[in-house]
Structure 1
Amino acid sequence: MYGELYTCLLYHANRHDEENTVNSYTIYGKRGEWITTYRTIEEKTQISRSRLKTLLDNMEADGVISVRRMRYFTIITITGYDDWMKVPTAGSNPPPATPARQHLPEHRKENFRPIYQRFT
């Protein structure tokens, strides 16, 4: 359950600084934070509220997240979010879409013939 909850937190965390609305409150959230309620997490993960509180406390003790509990919402901050979800910089070259072809020796190359000729 620990891994499932952490994956859910990563999925729902803000990808950039933005305003969030929870229970008719508008809160400014930073990158790597998820402003939510226990009920929402419970619905998304199917983990009971008591187990959820225990898991969040364990994650906080492990240093994976930090939790700020407010009256009407909870702010969960993922520690090291930028290490997990890196934003490409403008000057960096993206990796190639397909790996570079290697030149195989002749004995390793496959002879391509039309399918109707292969079985004759």
Structure 2
Amino acid sequence: MEDMWKQHWEKGNAKNRHLISDPNQRVPGFDYPRALWTNLNRIRTEQGNCNYLLHKWKLKNSPLCDCGQIQSIKHIVEECPQTRYKGGIEGLHMGDDEAIDWLSKTNVRL
């Protein structure tokens, strides 16, 4: 069964799939508190409460970030001069102390 799931994963096209080499293994941060774990997974999948998606779902009037660009998860983490994390999505995926510190200090709630 595990081999079948791994083959299915390898053929898939999930965002940032390259971050997970074996879908049968727990990813970094699995044992973190729920709120932190949720934020990490929203970043990994690029599906969270960013203005782009909230606007798409008609929950916000604008998709723009405070910096004037479209505010996607990728923008928040890798591009925005106000919020970017130097390690990017791949660095946050690892969930080390520096990444957790950035997550706790950023004023954006995903």
TM-score tier (shorter): under 0.3
The alignment's TM-score, normalised by the length of structure 2, stands at: 0.21
Higher relative contact order (CA 8 A, sep 6+): 2
Structure index of larger Rg: 1
The alignment's TM-score, normalised by the length of structure 1, stands at: 0.20
